Every structure is written in C-alpha cells, then in structure tokens.
Amino acid sequence: MVRGVLEGCLLAVIGEEETYGYEIMEKLASSGFVFAREGSIYPLLLRLEKEGTIASTQRPSPSGPNRKYYHLTLKGEQQLQLFRENWNELSQSVNNIMDRNYRKEDDA
C-alpha cells in the first residue's frame, strides 16, 4: 500500500514542476516521507520512465555532473489525476471508519 501511495506522491511532486531525484527526495521528506530514500525513489523513477509516465532531460548542474530532470507525460498527468480521485475516496472511507471507532471509544 505504501508503495502505491509513494508513487502517487512522487507523481504529484513532479507534477508541481520539473525536478531532479535528490530534490524529489527532499520534498517527500519535508512532507513526512522520511522512509523515501534513494533505494526506493530511483528504481521507481526508472520504472515510471520506462512505462512512459514520466520523461527526463539531462541538464548541467551548477555543482558537478549533469542532472536528470523529470516531468510528467500526458500518461503521467492522467495517472496522477486517477491517483488523486482514488486517494480522496480511500482516505474518506478510512476516515469514516476511524471516526466511528473513535466515537465508540468516547462513548465507553
């Protein structure tokens, strides 16, 4: 489940602006995804690029070798929209159940 959520959030970060791997990890970490490390992010980026969900361009870096900048393709934009719709539905359902359980504890 976390993998699917991570993928959706990664698409959302890339959808904000064209960005590179390390910057993606920083943005995810600052949003609470502290477990999202190179070992999970870069293989996911590679898979998404092979699937045609994202595309990349090489650009010079101000400090070192070229950086690979990622952006969403049309397929990626559609996948992000679908993730948002599914996430809204799922999170609302989970919250409904959690709220019900929380109210039962208050009644006890």
Q: Can you give the pLDDT at residue 69?
A: 97
User: How many angstroms separate the first and last alpha carbons of the chain?
Assistant: 32
Within 8 A by CB and 6+ apart from 16, the residues are none
Q: Which helix (H) or strand (E) holds 76?
A: helix 74-107
| Domains of the chain as residue ranges with CATH | 2-107 (1.10.10.10)
Is the pTM here over 0.85, yes or no? no
Rounded Cα distance, 69 and 49, in Å = 11
Instruction: Assess contact for 54 and 28: CB atoms under 8 A.
Output: no
Report helix, strand or coil for 31. Answer: coil
Q: Which residues of the chain have pLDDT under 50?
A: none
Q: Can you give the pLDDT at residue 100?
A: 77
Q: Can you give the pLDDT at residue 93?
A: 87
